Structure 1
Amino acid sequence: MNGAQSLIKTLANCGVDMCFANPGTSEMHFVAALDSVPEMRAVLCLFEGVVTGAADGYGRVAGKPAATLLHLGPGLANGLANLHNARRANTPIVNIVGDHATYHLQYDALLTSDIVGFARPVSAWICESKSAQTVAGDAARAVQAARSAPGGVATLILPADTAWNEAERPAQMLRDIGPAPVSSQAVDDIARLLGNGKKTTFLLRGSALHGAGLEAAGRVQAKTGARLLCDTFAPHSEVGAGRVPVERIPYFAEQIVDFLKGIEQIVLVGAKPPVSFFAYPGKPSWCAPQDCQFSHLAHPHEDAAGALAALADALNAPAQSSIRVPLQLGGLPKGPLNAMSAGQIIAELTPDDAIFAEEAATSGMPLLVTLSTARPHTHLPLTGGSIGQGLPLAVGAALAAPERKVICPHGDGGAAYTMQALWSMAREELDITVVIYANRSYAILNIELQRVGATGAGAKALSMLDLHNPEMNWVKIAEGLGVEASRATTCEEFASQYAAAMQQKGPRLIEVMI
């Protein structure tokens, strides 16, 4: 057994059975080792940003890490943007990066680089294997690190000679670390706090926004009347009819200030205090009321779902919340397409239990409004602000939950960053419907240009935000990458095309002209 085989077998022993890869020469022994471990599924991606974004989507839905396989420092660098997004989502990922053989590094060959330096800003854990004998143990520790609460990117750097040299045996899975239980004292403190008569809200994140955690939050809400909020870009939330209602914090700073006006105390459950996404002249960065008091029920590394259940019990809350989102569908609109009418059509026709890998940008707000009372679904947004995440995220989500429909509403500007994901959708025959909002613009930047107070913007400046001349044809792009595609210019056309996509299996792209 060589080091590469010990790696793949160890990953399988540790429950990692999905690998997204864009390998190079240094990783050929790892590629060859894939055939020796039938449990490992390998998915080829044409660009490293698709590799890392797909691993993020897989981890968010599966609740366990996938592995990546990247080629040296430049390959890692190409994938950094979506590793940044994954870090902000606390997604578990085993990020494997090949390097030159240990004895070859001294010659400073052209692809030599500071891989640790590239990895540091996005990684919760980094290890460089020095010998084939240590690869298995290092891999087991990488899986443990990725799975450790609250979850993160564990980067394992493997020189080429650690792959081809002789190893001993694969390692077994190490115990998970966390999430840490919340003390009874912390629960009692919050229970007492809720009796002080002040206007209270809970800001939820992580396991508090789905499954048992969301249900427990609903029990607390039913007992106390406290508002339940989530971050603008909460990584994984369960939304729609029948679910416990959670209000999403708005995007712009002044909207957040108005949204939180009058709140006297905020209880953080795996979340951080709300701040502005960017700094703007004359607008606040800190968005909570100045006299608002913050308390922690659970820190990000702690068991948010368990803490909420304990709090609900301490309050003698009802066994189930009676407060539920009603199913409210507005029907199918007619006539010209815009962001709101497109959102209404998506909400009307999407089946139960779909997954939304959403990067709709300026079209996202009307979409989220219409989806808030649509059929129950899972929402996975862009988490770190680095656009080009939605398409790869959909790939990973579809592989983690092949029995569920995945919808990817995406702005055209961001989709251009990682359009290669369409090829992987076709190759793997994934059940994904991509909706491209084609406004031929970085529309959010037209808004931000005004908000930051930039003056004197003329034709040259505005051309930097415009995607005309030439226009991208997403139907031809998708078809060229193997995905069936169509274009909708009216509500009637979009409704017909989207309904057909919901009835069929496999990848489909619809370009919505808005």
Structure 2
Amino acid sequence: MTDPDRHDGKPTSATSQTGPNAPNGADALIGALVEGGVDTCFANPGTTEMHLVAALGRAPGMTTHLCLFEGVATGAADGYARMTGRPAMVLLHLGPGLANGMANLHNAKKAATPLVCVVGEHATHHLAYDAPLAADIEGMARTVSDVVITPDTPDHVARDTADLLGRLTRGDTRVGTVVMPNDVAWSPVSAEITRPDPRPAPAQDAPAIRAAADTLRAAGNKGLLLLGAPRLTRRAAALASAIGAATGCAVRTEAAVARMERGRDTHPLTRVPFHVDLALEALKDVAQAVLVGAREPVAFFAYPDRPSRLLPEGCGVTAIAPPLSDIEAPLAALAEALGAATTAPVTAPDASPGGDGPITPDTLGASVAATLPEGAIVVDESITNGAPMFTACAAAAPHDWLNNRGGSIGYSMPVSVGAATACPDRRVLCVTGDGSAAYTPQALWTMARGRLDVTVVILANRAYRILANEMSKIGAGRPDGTTMPMMELTDPTPDWVKIAEGHGVPGVRVDTAADLTQALARAHATPGPTLIEAVLA
């Protein structure tokens, strides 16, 4: 066991058995996960995970989903956990399998998504032989996990797993990785199973709330209330808007929030812009910032002659909730301290379709907003074309909006798989660039196999457009004939309709806003997945 924070609990049940039908370490792991509320596993297993696969098949209350690529499995677990609030399980094969899934584990960690990643390991006696697939799994896992454990005996598996789950549900740990040696998985459990004592959640900081109230009163229109959380609810938006109205402060969210409730029944919230120059301009007059579940904003990258910190030099910072914590309670306490009463949002007019012209960022936003079904889940990886869509959907039907907090592309289609699995009664809309989608197209197969209600919109601008935008900004010159081939998706041009159909998902290509509007309406009304390749002007 390699987790230094593990602590022993008291035995709560005796399960000592021997013989051929005794539960083994794999059963103990899956049993502890099910007992802890984990009911879904996204998997891409191999030989070292066969005992875990068998245990999954024996475990009542656990549903499994096969993914053809590990990055799809990790992203799907992220989407499932974001929508349910409960940890999901991922099952991966040794170090190379973990390596393939690390990008979306990184995104899940940055989003504070509760997730248990189980990675099979060689039997302990086999490690000395440096077999072809041997790797430093613990070292790799630590880069994308809050905690890594490796049970050293089947008798410790249930205790260690229950302790890990307890930390995930309290919020001080989000992504936990269990490295499971194969001989620990196949060996019988012979000792009493223990469970850890519960640990209390951290208490709210009342003095910090009072200090924040005083700060915002004094700062007036030079104050900023900055929100960040695993989930921004309608109530949180209403409370934040009330605080802004009572003090005159600006209210913004971080550039990417893991999950936001939005739509015409919700107070609209403005994001800190992604682009560094726009962000610096938006925040230039802030004298005092109060952070609620947010980190102090920084630029995505370093740029010549631009600061890394986005708040002005000398700006005061007060935090009243840890980064990525639940924020409704501290916002309510802050509103009470200020005497700020919530009000109903101003009713926005219904969104209008994008007309009959070409597909641009503006017409894309209008078409998406006008056709979005009530209760939809939008998974946004639109990158260079998404700002107008986010703004337009403030007037759309009530929906949830999922953003990529980690910045590693290829997140949206896998996260859509998880969101649709978690919420089978809600339509999922995935909007992604063609460059991003090329990282994880295997997600389409899992959508087809599960008959998941997902509409995928591929924004086909035939390029990594964001790289062309960033190249001159970072001081590397303007794209030209020698560098554009590194950013263009042509010669050949991917045919996303054929790619979708090859994975079992029907597809259609459109190049006008009117056709996009019609295609979206048809897709949302048709059970199962559909892909729309939207060719941008």
Do Structure 1 and Structure 2 share a fold, with TM-score over 0.5? yes
Distance of 1:457 and 1:499 partners within structure 2: 38
By how many angstroms is 1:460 displaced? Answer: 3.0
Distance of 2:507 and 2:527 partners within structure 1: 14
1:251-400 matched pairs, under 5 angstroms: 251-300=274-323, 303-318=326-341, 320-324=342-346, 326-400=348-422
Aligned partner of 2:50 in structure 1 is: 28
When residues 390 and 172 of structure 1 are mapped into structure 2, their CA distance, relative to the original with a 3 A threshold, is farther
Match of 1:83 among 105, 115, 134: 105
When residues 301 and 369 of structure 1 are mapped into structure 2, their CA distance, relative to the original with a 3 A threshold, is closer
Aligned partner of 1:43 in structure 2 is: 65
When residues 214 and 452 of structure 1 are mapped into structure 2, their CA distance, relative to the original with a 3 A threshold, is same
- Once the two structures are superposed, residues 280-325 of structure 1 have per-residue CA deviations (whole angstroms, 9 ceiling, x without a partner) of 112222211223211111122755221111122222222x324446
Distance of 2:434 and 2:89 partners within structure 1: 28
Distance of 2:384 and 2:318 partners within structure 1: 33
- Once the two structures are superposed, residues 331-376 of structure 1 have per-residue CA deviations (whole angstroms, 9 ceiling, x without a partner) of 3411222232122111101112211111011111222122132222
Checking the alignment, whether the CA contact within 8 Å between 2:147 and 2:176 is kept in structure 1 is yes
Distance of 1:26 and 1:120 partners within structure 2: 21
Structure 2 unpaired stretches of 5+: 1-22
- Pair 1:213-2:232 in alignment: no
1:371 counterpart letter in structure 2: C
Checking the alignment, whether the CA contact within 8 Å between 2:219 and 2:288 is kept in structure 1 is no
When residues 173 and 310 of structure 1 are mapped into structure 2, their CA distance, relative to the original with a 3 A threshold, is farther
Aligned partner of 2:262 in structure 1 is: 239
2:276 counterpart letter in structure 1: A
Distance of 2:375 and 2:270 partners within structure 1: 20
- Once the two structures are superposed, residues 227-271 of structure 1 have per-residue CA deviations (whole angstroms, 9 ceiling, x without a partner) of 221111111111221212211111111111111122221100011
Distance of 1:285 and 1:460 partners within structure 2: 30
Aligned partner of 1:105 in structure 2 is: 127
Checking the alignment, whether the CA contact within 8 Å between 2:79 and 2:416 is kept in structure 1 is yes
When residues 506 and 6 of structure 1 are mapped into structure 2, their CA distance, relative to the original with a 3 A threshold, is same
**TM-score if structure 2 supplies the norm length?**
0.92
Distance of 1:43 and 1:502 partners within structure 2: 23
Count of paired positions: 513
Distance of 1:306 and 1:493 partners within structure 2: 45
Aligned partner of 1:224 in structure 2 is: 247
Structure 1 unpaired stretches of 5+: none
Q: Which moved more, 1:88-97 or 1:337-346?
A: 337-346
1:94 counterpart letter in structure 2: V
1:506 counterpart letter in structure 2: G
Match of 1:141 among 160, 163, 179: 163
The 3-state SS of whatever aligns with 2:143 is: helix
Aligned partner of 1:445 in structure 2 is: 467
By how many angstroms is 1:486 displaced? Answer: 0.8
Aligned partner of 2:423 in structure 1 is: 401
Q: Which moved more, 1:354-363 or 1:299-308?
A: 299-308
- Pair 1:414-2:456 in alignment: no
By how many angstroms is 1:456 displaced? Answer: 7.2
Match of 1:195 among 198, 204, 217: 217
Distance of 1:148 and 1:177 partners within structure 2: 8
1:267 counterpart letter in structure 2: V
Match of 2:177 among 148, 155, 161: 155
2:99 counterpart letter in structure 1: A
By how many angstroms is 1:224 displaced? Answer: 2.5
Checking the alignment, whether the CA contact within 8 Å between 1:336 and 1:489 is kept in structure 2 is yes
- Once the two structures are superposed, residues 1-43 of structure 1 have per-residue CA deviations (whole angstroms, 9 ceiling, x without a partner) of 1111121111110000010100000000110112211210001
Distance of 2:245 and 2:198 partners within structure 1: 34
When residues 229 and 447 of structure 1 are mapped into structure 2, their CA distance, relative to the original with a 3 A threshold, is same
Distance of 1:226 and 1:322 partners within structure 2: 19
- Once the two structures are superposed, residues 394-429 of structure 1 have per-residue CA deviations (whole angstroms, 9 ceiling, x without a partner) of 011111111111100000001000000000111111
Checking the alignment, whether the CA contact within 8 Å between 1:180 and 1:302 is kept in structure 2 is no
Distance of 2:191 and 2:460 partners within structure 1: 52
When residues 197 and 411 of structure 1 are mapped into structure 2, their CA distance, relative to the original with a 3 A threshold, is closer
When residues 151 and 408 of structure 1 are mapped into structure 2, their CA distance, relative to the original with a 3 A threshold, is farther
By how many angstroms is 1:60 displaced? Answer: 1.2
1:412 counterpart letter in structure 2: D
Distance of 1:94 and 1:55 partners within structure 2: 9
Q: Which moved more, 1:401-410 or 1:193-202?
A: 193-202
Aligned partner of 2:272 in structure 1 is: 249
2:311 counterpart letter in structure 1: A
Distance of 2:195 and 2:456 partners within structure 1: 37
Aligned partner of 2:10 in structure 1 is: none
1:472-491 matched pairs, under 5 angstroms: 472-491=494-513
The 3-state SS of whatever aligns with 1:341 is: helix
The 3-state SS of whatever aligns with 1:201 is: strand
By how many angstroms is 1:513 displaced? Answer: 0.7
Q: Which moved more, 1:471-480 or 1:199-208?
A: 199-208
When residues 155 and 87 of structure 1 are mapped into structure 2, their CA distance, relative to the original with a 3 A threshold, is same
Same amino acid, percent of matched pairs: 42
The 3-state SS of whatever aligns with 2:124 is: coil
- Pair 1:500-2:518 in alignment: no
Distance of 1:443 and 1:449 partners within structure 2: 10
The 3-state SS of whatever aligns with 2:532 is: strand
Q: Which moved more, 1:504-513 or 1:323-332?
A: 323-332
By how many angstroms is 1:435 displaced? Answer: 0.3
1:275 counterpart letter in structure 2: V
